[in-house]
C-alpha cells in the first residue's frame, strides 16, 4: 500500500498546508480540507471546523481565499459546527430537536450572512473574525431560544 503523500503527489495534488492534524490540499481548482477526522471541500465548513481545532496564532489563518471556489458552499454545514457540532447535535444536551429537523430555520436566518462573510473575506483569518463576531454561540443560542429549539 502506498503512503498517502506519495499517492497525492502522483495524482497531481498540491499540499498547501500540513501539520499532521490539518491538511489543506488542492487538485486543479478544487480544495480539500482534512481537519481531524473530517474531510470537506466547503470553505465555510472548513473555517467552522478550524475554529475548534486551530490556535489563533497558527499560520493557517493567513491563507488567502481568493482562489477557493465558493460555488459548493452550503451554509447549513457551517451553521452545524458553529451552533455546537457533533457534541451538541448528537447528544441534544441543549437542543430539543435534532439538526435534521431545524437546520432550515438556521439557514433561513443566517444562510445569507454566512455566504456574505465567505464572499467578502480575503483570508481565513477575516472569515474567522467575522464568524466569531456575527455567528458566535450566544447569537445562535438566542436565535434557537426564540424558536423554542432549546431545552
The continuous run of DSSP H or E covering 147 comes out as none
Q: Which residue has the cell 498547501?
A: 16
Q: Is the pLDDT of residue 1 over 50?
A: no
According to the model, what pLDDT value does residue 137 have? 94
Residues 6+ apart with CB under 8 A from 129: none
Nearest to 70 by CA among 27, 108, 120: 120
Determine the Cα–Cα distance for residues 37 and 99; give it in Å rounded to an integer: 20
For all residues of the chain together, what is the average pLDDT?
91
Task: State residue 119 phi and psi, 5-degree precision.
Answer: -70, -25
Please give the model's pTM, rounded to 2 decimal places: 0.89
Q: Per-residue pLDDT tens for 25-84?
A: 999 888 999 999 999 999 999 999 999 999 999 999 999 998 888 888 999 999 999 999
The continuous run of DSSP H or E covering 34 comes out as strand 30-35
Domain ranges across the chain: 1-41, 42-58+72-151
Determine the Cα–Cα distance for residues 147 and 151; give it in Å rounded to an integer: 11
Determine the Cα–Cα distance for residues 147 and 108; give it in Å rounded to an integer: 12
| Confidence tier at 110 by pLDDT (50, 70, 90) | very high
Amino acid at each position: 500500500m502506498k503512503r498517502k503523500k506519495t499517492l497525492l503527489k502522483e495524482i497531481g495534488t498540491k499540499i498547501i498546508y500540513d501539520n499532521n492534524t490539518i491538511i489543506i490540499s488542492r487538485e486543479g481548482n478544487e480544495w480539500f480540507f482534512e481537519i481531524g477526522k473530517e474531510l470537506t471541500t466547503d470553505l465555510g465548513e472548513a473555517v467552522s471546523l478550524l475554529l475548534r481545532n486551530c490556535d489563533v496564532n497558527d499560520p493557517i489563518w493567513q491563507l488567502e481565499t481568493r482562489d477557493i471556489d465558493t460555488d459548493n458552499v452550503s451554509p447549513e454545514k457551517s451553521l452545524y459546527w458553529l451552533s455546537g457540532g457533533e457534541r451538541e447535535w448528537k447528544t441534544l444536551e441543549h437542543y430539543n430537536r435534532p439538526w435534521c429537523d431545524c437546520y432550515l430555520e438556521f439557514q433561513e436566518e443566517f444562510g445569507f450572512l454566512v455566504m456574505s462573510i465567505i464572499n467578502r473575506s480575503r483570508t481565513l483569518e477575516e472569515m474567522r473574525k467575522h464568524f466569531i463576531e456575527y455567528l458566535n454561540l450566544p447569537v445562535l443560542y438566542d436565535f434557537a431560544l426564540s424558536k423554542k429549539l432549546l431545552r
